[in-house]
Amino acid sequence: MEQIAQWFPGHMAKTFRNLNSQIKLVDVVLEMVDARLPYSSRNPELRRYTHNKVHLILMNKADLADAKVNQAWLNYFQANNLPTFLYNSKQRQQLPKLLQFIYTQAGALLERNEQRGLDQKDLKVMVVGVPNSGKSTFINNLVGRKSNDTGNRPGVTRQSKWIKSEVDNLAFLDTPGLLWPKIERVEAQLYLALVASIPETILDKENLTYKGFAHLWQYYPELLAKRYKLDSQSEFSVELFDEAVRNQGCIRAKGKLDYERFAKAFLNDLRNGTLGAISLERPTDYVNENEACE
Protein backbone atom coordinates (compact mmCIF):
# COMPACT_ATOMS: atom_id res chain seq x y z
CA MET A 1 0.00 0.00 0.00
CA GLU A 2 1.35 3.44 -0.93
CA GLN A 3 2.04 6.15 1.65
CA ILE A 4 -1.00 8.17 2.78
CA ALA A 5 0.47 11.03 4.83
CA GLN A 6 2.91 12.04 7.55
CA TRP A 7 2.08 14.94 9.89
CA PHE A 8 4.22 16.21 12.77
CA PRO A 9 3.86 20.01 13.09
CA GLY A 10 5.87 22.30 15.35
CA HIS A 11 3.52 22.28 18.35
CA MET A 12 3.66 18.46 18.40
CA ALA A 13 7.45 18.46 18.23
CA LYS A 14 7.52 20.81 21.22
CA THR A 15 5.10 18.62 23.20
CA PHE A 16 7.14 15.57 22.28
CA ARG A 17 10.35 17.17 23.58
CA ASN A 18 8.64 18.03 26.87
CA LEU A 19 6.92 14.67 27.30
CA ASN A 20 9.48 13.02 29.57
CA SER A 21 9.67 15.96 31.98
CA GLN A 22 5.87 16.27 32.09
CA ILE A 23 5.32 12.57 32.78
CA LYS A 24 7.60 12.89 35.81
CA LEU A 25 5.00 15.26 37.32
CA VAL A 26 2.13 12.75 37.25
CA ASP A 27 1.10 9.49 38.91
CA VAL A 28 -1.09 8.10 36.14
CA VAL A 29 -0.89 8.21 32.33
CA LEU A 30 -4.36 7.93 30.79
CA GLU A 31 -3.79 7.09 27.14
CA MET A 32 -6.88 7.88 25.08
CA VAL A 33 -7.22 5.83 21.91
CA ASP A 34 -9.92 5.81 19.26
CA ALA A 35 -11.96 2.63 19.77
CA ARG A 36 -12.22 2.20 16.00
CA LEU A 37 -8.41 1.86 15.74
CA PRO A 38 -7.07 1.13 19.22
CA TYR A 39 -3.74 -0.26 18.04
CA SER A 40 -2.99 2.35 15.39
CA SER A 41 -3.98 5.27 17.61
CA ARG A 42 -1.50 4.26 20.32
CA ASN A 43 1.69 6.30 20.34
CA PRO A 44 4.59 3.80 20.10
CA GLU A 45 6.96 6.36 21.64
CA LEU A 46 4.93 6.74 24.82
CA ARG A 47 6.00 3.47 26.41
CA ARG A 48 9.58 4.78 26.66
CA TYR A 49 8.44 7.13 29.43
CA THR A 50 5.72 5.25 31.32
CA HIS A 51 7.51 2.31 32.95
CA ASN A 52 7.24 3.73 36.47
CA LYS A 53 3.71 5.09 36.08
CA VAL A 54 0.23 3.64 36.30
CA HIS A 55 -0.59 3.33 32.59
CA LEU A 56 -4.26 3.03 31.60
CA ILE A 57 -5.99 2.78 28.23
CA LEU A 58 -9.19 4.73 27.58
CA MET A 59 -10.96 3.46 24.46
CA ASN A 60 -12.98 6.54 23.57
CA LYS A 61 -15.73 6.78 20.93
CA ALA A 62 -16.71 3.22 21.78
CA ASP A 63 -20.23 3.99 20.55
CA LEU A 64 -18.88 4.48 17.02
CA ALA A 65 -17.05 1.15 16.99
CA ASP A 66 -18.26 -2.42 16.50
CA ALA A 67 -19.29 -3.72 19.96
CA LYS A 68 -17.91 -7.23 19.37
CA VAL A 69 -14.57 -5.85 18.24
CA ASN A 70 -14.51 -3.49 21.24
CA GLN A 71 -14.74 -6.51 23.53
CA ALA A 72 -11.96 -8.27 21.64
CA TRP A 73 -9.69 -5.24 22.11
CA LEU A 74 -10.64 -4.97 25.77
CA ASN A 75 -9.59 -8.60 26.26
CA TYR A 76 -6.42 -8.03 24.24
CA PHE A 77 -5.18 -5.07 26.27
CA GLN A 78 -6.10 -6.60 29.61
CA ALA A 79 -4.32 -9.83 28.67
CA ASN A 80 -1.24 -7.67 28.10
CA ASN A 81 -1.50 -6.05 31.55
CA LEU A 82 -2.94 -2.76 30.30
CA PRO A 83 -6.11 -1.93 32.28
CA THR A 84 -8.64 -0.62 29.77
CA PHE A 85 -11.96 1.23 29.96
CA LEU A 86 -14.55 1.55 27.18
CA TYR A 87 -15.83 5.11 27.03
CA ASN A 88 -17.92 7.61 25.12
CA SER A 89 -16.88 11.12 26.12
CA LYS A 90 -20.19 12.53 24.87
CA GLN A 91 -22.03 10.65 27.61
CA ARG A 92 -21.11 12.46 30.80
CA GLN A 93 -22.98 9.93 32.95
CA GLN A 94 -20.11 7.47 32.38
CA LEU A 95 -17.67 9.80 34.14
CA PRO A 96 -18.14 8.58 37.76
CA LYS A 97 -17.39 4.98 36.72
CA LEU A 98 -14.30 6.11 34.84
CA LEU A 99 -12.99 8.13 37.79
CA GLN A 100 -13.56 5.13 40.06
CA PHE A 101 -11.65 3.00 37.55
CA ILE A 102 -8.70 5.42 37.72
CA TYR A 103 -8.76 5.44 41.53
CA THR A 104 -8.96 1.65 41.69
CA GLN A 105 -6.05 1.14 39.30
CA ALA A 106 -3.96 3.72 41.18
CA GLY A 107 -4.84 2.18 44.55
CA ALA A 108 -1.52 0.39 45.07
CA LEU A 109 0.38 3.59 44.29
CA LEU A 110 -1.68 5.63 46.76
CA GLU A 111 -1.21 2.97 49.44
CA ARG A 112 2.58 2.97 48.93
CA ASN A 113 2.70 6.74 49.18
CA GLU A 114 0.65 6.68 52.37
CA GLN A 115 2.96 4.08 53.92
CA ARG A 116 5.94 6.27 53.05
CA GLY A 117 4.29 9.17 54.83
CA LEU A 118 3.79 11.23 51.69
CA ASP A 119 1.04 13.84 51.89
CA GLN A 120 -0.55 13.49 48.46
CA LYS A 121 -3.30 16.06 48.04
CA ASP A 122 -4.17 15.19 44.44
CA LEU A 123 -3.84 12.15 42.22
CA LYS A 124 -2.18 13.63 39.14
CA VAL A 125 -3.25 12.19 35.79
CA MET A 126 -1.83 12.99 32.36
CA VAL A 127 -4.29 12.67 29.48
CA VAL A 128 -2.53 11.89 26.23
CA GLY A 129 -3.79 10.77 22.83
CA VAL A 130 -3.70 11.30 19.09
CA PRO A 131 -5.41 14.37 17.59
CA ASN A 132 -9.20 14.23 17.45
CA SER A 133 -9.41 11.33 19.90
CA GLY A 134 -11.92 13.22 22.07
CA LYS A 135 -9.62 14.53 24.80
CA SER A 136 -11.09 18.04 24.81
CA THR A 137 -14.65 16.77 25.24
CA PHE A 138 -13.44 14.51 28.04
CA ILE A 139 -11.71 17.40 29.82
CA ASN A 140 -14.81 19.58 29.47
CA ASN A 141 -16.85 16.81 31.11
CA LEU A 142 -14.35 16.63 33.96
CA VAL A 143 -14.60 20.30 34.85
CA GLY A 144 -18.32 20.58 34.16
CA ARG A 145 -17.89 23.42 31.72
CA LYS A 146 -16.29 24.26 28.39
CA SER A 147 -12.61 24.45 29.23
CA ASN A 148 -11.38 23.44 25.77
CA ASP A 149 -12.61 23.96 22.23
CA THR A 150 -13.76 20.79 20.53
CA GLY A 151 -14.11 19.82 16.91
CA ASN A 152 -13.93 16.93 14.46
CA ARG A 153 -10.52 18.07 13.31
CA PRO A 154 -6.96 17.62 14.58
CA GLY A 155 -4.86 20.22 16.38
CA VAL A 156 -7.59 21.93 18.42
CA THR A 157 -5.57 21.82 21.68
CA ARG A 158 -2.09 23.35 21.25
CA GLN A 159 -0.69 23.66 24.80
CA SER A 160 -0.52 21.46 27.89
CA LYS A 161 -2.42 22.71 30.93
CA TRP A 162 -3.53 21.51 34.36
CA ILE A 163 -7.26 20.98 34.92
CA LYS A 164 -8.81 20.49 38.36
CA SER A 165 -11.66 18.01 38.30
CA GLU A 166 -15.04 18.66 39.93
CA VAL A 167 -14.17 15.55 41.95
CA ASP A 168 -11.85 16.19 44.91
CA ASN A 169 -8.26 14.94 44.82
CA LEU A 170 -7.98 14.60 41.07
CA ALA A 171 -5.89 16.86 38.83
CA PHE A 172 -5.51 16.27 35.10
CA LEU A 173 -2.72 17.41 32.80
CA ASP A 174 -4.32 17.93 29.39
CA THR A 175 -1.85 17.66 26.49
CA PRO A 176 -2.15 18.50 22.80
CA GLY A 177 -3.08 15.70 20.43
CA LEU A 178 0.18 13.96 19.70
CA LEU A 179 1.33 11.80 16.81
CA TRP A 180 4.93 10.62 16.44
CA PRO A 181 7.74 11.76 14.15
CA LYS A 182 7.29 8.99 11.59
CA ILE A 183 4.27 6.71 11.23
CA GLU A 184 5.90 3.59 9.82
CA ARG A 185 2.84 1.47 9.08
CA VAL A 186 0.87 2.61 6.06
CA GLU A 187 -2.26 1.00 7.52
CA ALA A 188 -1.93 3.28 10.55
CA GLN A 189 -1.63 6.29 8.24
CA LEU A 190 -4.83 5.21 6.48
CA TYR A 191 -6.83 4.63 9.65
CA LEU A 192 -5.66 7.86 11.33
CA ALA A 193 -6.54 9.83 8.20
CA LEU A 194 -9.98 8.22 7.94
CA VAL A 195 -10.93 9.37 11.47
CA ALA A 196 -9.48 12.89 10.97
CA SER A 197 -6.45 12.52 13.24
CA ILE A 198 -4.45 13.80 10.25
CA PRO A 199 -5.77 17.05 8.70
CA GLU A 200 -7.60 16.85 5.40
CA THR A 201 -5.59 19.77 4.01
CA ILE A 202 -2.57 17.51 3.44
CA LEU A 203 -4.51 14.48 2.18
CA ASP A 204 -5.63 13.23 -1.19
CA LYS A 205 -9.24 12.80 -0.05
CA GLU A 206 -10.35 10.98 -3.16
CA ASN A 207 -7.60 8.37 -2.82
CA LEU A 208 -8.26 8.12 0.92
CA THR A 209 -11.96 7.53 0.28
CA TYR A 210 -11.33 4.80 -2.29
CA LYS A 211 -8.92 2.96 0.03
CA GLY A 212 -11.21 3.41 3.04
CA PHE A 213 -14.26 2.18 1.14
CA ALA A 214 -12.35 -0.87 -0.13
CA HIS A 215 -11.11 -1.67 3.38
CA LEU A 216 -14.54 -1.41 4.99
CA TRP A 217 -16.16 -3.51 2.26
CA GLN A 218 -14.15 -6.49 3.58
CA TYR A 219 -15.90 -6.30 6.97
CA TYR A 220 -19.13 -4.33 6.56
CA PRO A 221 -20.54 -4.82 3.05
CA GLU A 222 -24.09 -4.78 4.42
CA LEU A 223 -23.65 -1.36 6.03
CA LEU A 224 -22.09 0.16 2.93
CA ALA A 225 -24.63 -1.51 0.65
CA LYS A 226 -27.50 -0.13 2.70
CA ARG A 227 -26.12 3.40 2.72
CA TYR A 228 -25.09 3.57 -0.95
CA LYS A 229 -27.72 1.26 -2.49
CA LEU A 230 -25.38 -1.55 -3.53
CA ASP A 231 -25.51 -5.35 -3.65
CA SER A 232 -23.78 -6.55 -0.48
CA GLN A 233 -22.93 -9.87 -2.17
CA SER A 234 -20.77 -8.18 -4.81
CA GLU A 235 -16.99 -8.31 -4.75
CA PHE A 236 -15.32 -4.94 -4.31
CA SER A 237 -14.22 -3.36 -7.59
CA VAL A 238 -13.72 0.02 -9.22
CA GLU A 239 -17.10 -0.47 -10.86
CA LEU A 240 -18.77 -1.06 -7.50
CA PHE A 241 -17.16 2.07 -6.07
CA ASP A 242 -18.31 4.11 -9.06
CA GLU A 243 -21.83 2.76 -8.57
CA ALA A 244 -21.76 4.04 -4.98
CA VAL A 245 -20.66 7.47 -6.20
CA ARG A 246 -23.42 7.50 -8.80
CA ASN A 247 -26.10 6.28 -6.36
CA GLN A 248 -25.14 9.05 -3.95
CA GLY A 249 -25.98 11.57 -6.70
CA CYS A 250 -22.40 12.79 -7.00
CA ILE A 251 -22.48 13.55 -10.72
CA ARG A 252 -21.05 16.53 -12.60
CA ALA A 253 -22.04 17.95 -15.96
CA LYS A 254 -22.12 15.48 -18.87
CA GLY A 255 -22.50 12.58 -16.46
CA LYS A 256 -18.97 12.69 -15.02
CA LEU A 257 -18.66 11.31 -11.51
CA ASP A 258 -17.88 13.82 -8.76
CA TYR A 259 -15.35 11.91 -6.63
CA GLU A 260 -14.50 14.98 -4.58
CA ARG A 261 -18.10 15.44 -3.48
CA PHE A 262 -18.46 11.75 -2.71
CA ALA A 263 -15.26 11.81 -0.64
CA LYS A 264 -16.70 14.53 1.55
CA ALA A 265 -19.98 12.62 2.01
CA PHE A 266 -18.30 9.26 2.71
CA LEU A 267 -15.79 10.63 5.23
CA ASN A 268 -18.58 12.44 7.07
CA ASP A 269 -20.67 9.25 7.12
CA LEU A 270 -17.77 7.27 8.54
CA ARG A 271 -16.71 9.82 11.14
CA ASN A 272 -20.11 10.71 12.57
CA GLY A 273 -21.48 7.17 12.71
CA THR A 274 -23.98 7.43 9.85
CA LEU A 275 -22.57 4.24 8.34
CA GLY A 276 -23.13 2.43 11.61
CA ALA A 277 -20.74 1.09 14.23
CA ILE A 278 -17.52 0.11 12.46
CA SER A 279 -14.02 -0.93 13.51
CA LEU A 280 -11.03 -0.40 11.26
CA GLU A 281 -8.79 -3.03 12.87
CA ARG A 282 -8.93 -6.13 15.04
CA PRO A 283 -6.51 -7.80 17.46
CA THR A 284 -6.15 -10.70 15.02
CA ASP A 285 -4.55 -8.25 12.55
CA TYR A 286 -1.58 -8.09 14.90
CA VAL A 287 -1.29 -11.66 16.11
CA ASN A 288 2.45 -11.67 15.37
CA GLU A 289 3.09 -8.22 16.78
CA ASN A 290 3.33 -7.28 20.44
CA GLU A 291 5.13 -3.96 20.45
CA ALA A 292 1.97 -2.00 21.18
CA CYS A 293 1.65 -3.65 24.56
CA GLU A 294 5.23 -3.80 25.75
**pLDDT, the chain, mean:** 87
Q: Is 132 annotated as a binding residue?
A: yes
pLDDT score at 166: 66
Whether 173 and 251 map to the same domain: the answer is: no
Instruction: Judge whether residue 55 has pLDDT over 90.
Output: yes
Mean pLDDT of 155-165: 70
Q: Is 147 known to sit in a ligand binding site? A: no
Average pLDDT over residues 139-163: 64
Higher pLDDT, 265 or 175: 265
Annotated binding-site residue? 290: no
Annotated binding residue 88: yes
**Is 81 assigned to a binding site?**
no
Please give the average per-residue pLDDT across 139-154, as a whole number. Answer: 61
Q: What is the CATH number of the domain that holds 173?
A: 3.40.50.300
Is residue 276 a known part of a binding site? no
* pLDDT score of 150: 46
At position 189, the amino acid (one-letter code) is: Q
63 annotated as ligand-binding:
yes
Strand order in the sheet with 84-86: 84-86, 54-60, 28-34, 123-129, 170-174, 161-164
**pTM > 0.85:** yes
Residue 224 is part of a domain; what is its CATH number?
Answer: 1.10.1580.10
Residue 197 counted as an annotated binding residue: no
The verdict on 176 and 233 lying in the same domain is no
Q: Is 284 annotated as a binding residue?
A: no
Confidence at residue 230, expressed as pLDDT on a 0 to 100 scale: 99
Same domain, 154 and 265: no
Q: Say yes or no: 18 and 61 in one domain.
A: yes
pLDDT at position 205 is 94
Residue 221: is its pLDDT beyond 70? yes
Mean per-residue pLDDT, 214-237: 98
Cα distance between residue 7 and residue 201, in whole Å: 11
Annotated binding residue 53: no
pLDDT value of residue 74: 98
Q: Is 136 annotated as ligand-binding? A: yes
* Residues 23 and 153 placed together within one structural domain of the fold: yes
DSSP-derived 3-state class of residue 196 = coil
Residue 3: count other Cβ atoms within 10 Å of its Cβ.
Answer: 9
Domain that holds residue 250: 204-272
Known binder of ligand: residue 61? yes
Using DSSP, state whether 132 is helix, strand or coil: coil
